[in-house]
């Protein structure tokens, strides 16, 4: 059984690598445009596939299903509310980003404010990716693979600590090779291939799991059993004592989703590489459609795992791996583990690619060596990428023991998500707010949220309100501060958003109708499961 699982795992992993190499082997990897922006050549299927897979890593598959194991359907907010953010990306943010001809979000802040604002934003992104994002991707991936492949049984290694370190380093090294030798288009192609596999594998798990619930009686019978025995798990309206109370959908949860899908360098870099605005909008909205299906494979398996393992002492973040190992036949376990490795690599190498882009274009070219050649800029990114990858591989195993991986991720992300989103929105929607306001917003926002989380007596505020209401309050405060500064000491001249002429900005005619349909679908899903 282990041999068949391992053979299928190695076969599918190797197949994706081979196809990716065949497609991208002639790519331009010497210029910054070719390496960091795929030559601005991405069409909508690659954009959608890459967006989906960059998002759908093991912190989603393992972490969100782990949250569902504890709280049920209400945690689907992280998938369904994301659709609204994607619609806003397609209709509002993306036309403005592509008009600027940028490769990074901090570059937009330099165009709108000044070089100092860009530098502060770059540093915030790099610290956050090194300490929060990259280690969590590797840690959650290692935990998921240990359960799916039964690595202790497969390898004969009983030390869970040693296995964790070994798995993190193997996956991290493979991901670094993908990202640092291949550039953005290699990441996008491998993402798309793995995305197809992940959707198929995720839906197969739901099929086999529902069938297991009904003891072979079929998926509809399994669905009925779950609804009858655990009706409280199928309520879309989160309670106050759960991870995502319903009211937070309109405050912090919405804002975190909005940043993640519209301003997070790791996610939106592939939209900067769109061939045209129309291709970018199609790719973003197609991603929105797939996110509507997210609860099927990112939440329902967690509820099924609760039904099967709640009385067996299985931890929430270990439940998904147990479920996959128990219900899938060995050849499919190997296939799905390969897809999951693809998902881990996807998020890891996308974050690494974004990290190298931020460093090379924002700090190396912008500060350290302003006269650097294209080749020197690309080389600096590769060297820095290896430093970040090694740091992440060292930090990742230290995350062991977190109660809820997904909640931890969202909590930590808010520290930098909220200030950057506030500054980008003020920058795009106002003409006179000066650079000093943006600098205050970035620095004060990070410090305020960190103080509210960790530093007494400020952290007492979380005893009286949800952390999501708290970060939304900070968001409103930051915008108010920046607008006041803009009134007291405005820019001397009104900012004019120039067209850089990099891509065709003709919008897709179907963008508004499709966006409206997606938002109506979100409302319908919540209404259908309102308890």
- Other residues' Cβ atoms within 10 Å of the Cβ of residue 379: 15
User: Is a pLDDT exceeding 90 seen at residue 57?
Assistant: no
Cα torsion through 176, 177, 180, 185, rounded to 10: -110
- Closest of 357, 53, 14 to residue 197, by C-alpha: 53
In this predicted structure, what is the pLDDT of residue 249?
93
- Lowest-pLDDT choice from 18-32, 129-143, 247-261: 18-32
Mean pLDDT, the chain, rounded, equals 86
Q: Which residues pair with 274 in a beta bridge?
A: 42
What pLDDT, in 10s, does the model give residues 167-205?
889 888 877 776 666 555 666 676 677 777 777 888 899
Could you check whether the bond before residue 311 is cis, i.e. omega within 30 degrees of 0? no
Torsion, Cα of 31, 34, 40, 46 (10° steps) = -170
Please indicate whether residue 271 or residue 408 has the higher confidence score (pLDDT).
Answer: 271
What's the pLDDT score for residue 409? Answer: 78
Check residues 134 and 301 and name the one with the higher pLDDT. 301
**Greater confidence, 341 or 327?**
327
pLDDT tens column, 63-79 = 788 889 999 999 999 99
Provide the pLDDT for residue 1.
45
Q: Which range has the worst mean pLDDT, 399-408, 434-443, 491-500? A: 399-408
- Kindly state the average pLDDT of the residues 25-31: 58
C-beta of residue 348 within 8 angstroms of C-beta of residue 134: yes
pLDDT at position 180 is 63
* pLDDT computed for residue 442 by the predictor: 97
CATH numbers and ranges of domains, the chain: 1-529 (1.20.1730.10)
Token output for 210: 């529902």
- Which one has a higher pLDDT value, 382 or 180? 382
pLDDT (tens digit per residue) in 417-434: 999 999 999 999 999 999
The b-or-e profile of 170-202 (16+ CB within 10 A means b, else e) is: ebbebbbebbbebbbbbbbbbbbbbbebbbebb
Q: Indicate the SS3 state at residue 274.
A: strand
Give residue 58's pLDDT.
Answer: 65
**H, E, C per residue of 15-45:** HHHHHHHHHHCCCCCCCHHHHHHHHHCECHH
Q: Where are the alpha helices (DSSP H) in 396-460?
A: 405-429, 435-454
CB 325 within 8 A of CB 308: no
Structure tokens belonging to residue 263: 């301003």
| Residue 301 confidence (pLDDT) | 94
Q: How far apart are CA 211 and CA 214, in angstroms?
A: 5
Instruction: Using the predicted structure, report yes or no on whether residue 118 has a pLDDT greater than 80.
Output: yes
Helix (H), strand (E) at residue 347: helix 330-357
């Amino acid at each position: 059984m282990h041999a068949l699982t391992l053979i299928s795992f190695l076969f599918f992993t190797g197949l994706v690598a081979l196809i990716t190499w065949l497609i991208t082997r002639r790519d331009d990897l010497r210029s910054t445009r070719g390496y960091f922006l795929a030559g601005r050549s991405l069409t909508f299927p690659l954009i959608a596939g890459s967006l989906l897979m960059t998002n759908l890593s093991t912190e989603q598959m393992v972490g969100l299903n782990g949250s569902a194991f504890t709280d049920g359907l209400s945690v689907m907010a992280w998938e369904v509310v994301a659709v609204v953010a994607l619609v806003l990306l397609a209709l509002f943010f993306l036309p403005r980003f592509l008009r600027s001809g940028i490769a990074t979000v901090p570059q937009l802040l330099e165009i709108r404010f000044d070089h100092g604002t860009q530098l502060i934003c770059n540093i915030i992104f790099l610290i956050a990716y090194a300490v929060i994002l990259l280690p969590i991707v590797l840690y959650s991936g290692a935990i998921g693979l240990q359960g799916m492949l039964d690595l202790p049984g497969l390898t004969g290694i009983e030390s869970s600590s040693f296995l964790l370190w070994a798995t993190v380093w193997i996956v991290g090294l493979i991901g670094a090779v993908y990202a640092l030798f291949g550039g953005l288009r290699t990441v996008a192609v491998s993402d798309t291939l793995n995305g197809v596999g992940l959707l198929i594998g995720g839906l197969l798990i739901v099929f086999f799991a529902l069938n297991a619930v009904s003891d072979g009686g079929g998926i509809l019978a399994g669905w009925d059993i779950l609804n009858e025995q655990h009706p409280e798990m199928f309520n879309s309206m989160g309670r106050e004592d759960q991870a995502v109370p319903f009211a937070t959908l309109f405050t912090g949860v919405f804002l975190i989703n909005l940043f993640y899908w519209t301003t997070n360098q790791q996610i939106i870099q592939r939209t900067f590489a769109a061939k045209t605005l129309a291709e970018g909008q199609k790719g973003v909205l197609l991603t929105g459609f797939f996110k509507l299906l997210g609860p099927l494979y990112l939440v329902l398996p967690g509820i099924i795992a609760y039904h099967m393992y709640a009385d067996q002492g299985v931890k929430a973040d270990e439940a998904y791996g147990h479920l996959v190992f128990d219900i899938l036949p060995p050849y499919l376990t190997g296939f799905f583990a390969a897809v999951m490795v693809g998902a881990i690599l996807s998020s890891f190498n996308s974050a690494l690619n974004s990290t190298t882009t931020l460093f090379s274009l924002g700090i190396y070219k912008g500060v350290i060596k302003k006269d650097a050649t294209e080749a020197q800029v690309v080389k600096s990114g590769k060297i820095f990428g290896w430093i970040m990858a090694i740091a992440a591989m060292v930090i990742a195993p230290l995350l062991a023991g977190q109660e809820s991986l997904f909640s931890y991720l969202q909590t930590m992300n808010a520290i930098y998500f909220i200030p950057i989103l506030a500054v980008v929105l003020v920058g795009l929607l106002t003409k006179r707010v000066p650079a000093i306001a943006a600098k205050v917003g970035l620095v004060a926002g990070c410090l305020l949220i960190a103080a509210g989380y960790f530093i007494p007596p400020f952290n007492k505020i979380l005893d009286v309100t949800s952390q999501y209401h708290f970060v939304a309050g900070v968001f409103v405060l930051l915008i108010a501060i920046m607008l006041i500064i803009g009134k007291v000491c405005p820019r001397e001249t009104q900012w004019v958003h120039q067209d850089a002429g990099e891509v065709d900005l003709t919008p897709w005619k179907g963008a508004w109708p499709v966006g409206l349909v997606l938002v109506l679908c979100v409302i319908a899903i919540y209404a259908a499961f309102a308890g």
